[in-house]
Amino acid sequence: MKKVFLALLTMAAIQSYAQTNTFPADGYVGIGTTTPNRKLDVVGTGSFTIKAVSTPDPNLALYNNNGHFILIGSSFGGGNYSQMMHPGDQGIVYSGGLDNKGSFVITPWADNYDGLRIDQQGNVSIGTDRTGGAKLAVNGTMLAQKVVVKNISNWPDYVFGDQYHLPSLQSLEKFILENKHLPNIPAATVVEKEGIDLGEMNRKLLEKVEELTLYIIQQQKQMDKLGAKVAQLEANSIKP
């Protein structure tokens, strides 16, 4: 009798647990619910255990009705994906690689470098698959309401200090004629090859603005002296 009771109790427990899952004929599958309202309706937690495979195909792919797909948790090794992809990349690819393995990528299906990558060092690249060691690399135009460059040292207030040597206009002219650019400012060939550091370039440009201000002040003083002399000469010339 005890065995029969345990068997009935076990069956009741199984039946009670199974009642939360349903596989109706209308094609709506419910797990943890008997009233699914989508093709697959899961109430509760779940997990996927995916066997590792060495294939360019995704471990998990979700397709929409246009045949476009999202790849999730894939290990990419084929040549059919965007050039943003590298072998070993993990993450998401919409509808659609070489040595930085394990990066996270969001990119369209295209034979170009559109998309976004976050590599193993946390560096972010947009529109390119390389950061060049920078924390953020963007191949294209950036739009922002405000950009703040911090930790700029040696701000050129020193130009107005008593110990600063302001080059003469004659020496400045000589330098420009010989080098075709201002002192302490990179030449066009250097900028074309290496680009510019915005913070450092603003510091150098301010240095030139402050030097120019001093030149203007000097010129104004000389003009004031000349004006005074001219006024004195004119006054002397009209004496009876």
Contacts 24+ apart (CB under 8 A), 109-117: 109/68, 109/81, 109/82, 110/82, 111/82, 111/83, 112/82, 112/83, 113/82, 113/83, 113/84, 113/139, 114/82, 114/84, 115/82, 115/84, 116/84, 117/84, 117/89
pLDDT surpassing 60 at residue 5? no
Please tell me the pTM assigned to this model: 0.60
β-pair type (40-42, 29-31) = parallel
Count other C-beta atoms under 10 Å from residue 7's C-beta: 10
What pLDDT is stored for residue 132 in this prediction? 86
Q: Is the pLDDT of residue 63 over 70?
A: no
CA distance 105 to 129: 10
Looking at 57-61, 130-134, 229-233, which range is the least confident one? 57-61
Question: Could you give the percent of the chain with pLDDT greater than 70?
Answer: 68
pLDDT digits (tens, 9 = 90+) for 116-130: 888 888 899 998 888
pLDDT tens sequence across 141-158: 999 999 898 888 889 999
The pLDDT value recorded for residue 104 is 79
Is residue 62's pLDDT more than 70? no
Distance CA 29, CA 31 (A): 7
Asked if residue 14 has pLDDT above 50, the reply is no
**Is pLDDT above 90 for 86?**
no
- List the structure tokens of 53: 């495979």
Least confident of 76-85, 86-95, 120-129, 173-182: 76-85
Measured distance CA(63)–CA(38) in Å, rounded: 16
Q: What mean pLDDT, rounded, does the chain reach? A: 79
Residue 141, number of CB atoms within 10 A of its CB: 6
CA–CA distance, 38 with 34 (Å, rounded to integer): 12
Query: 62-76, 203-217, 226-240 — which is least confidently predicted?
Result: 62-76
For residues 105 and 131, give the distance between their C-alpha atoms in angstroms, rounded to a whole number: 14
| Residue 28 pLDDT > 90 | no
Per-residue pLDDT, 112: 76
For residue 61, what are the β-bridge partners?
A: 71
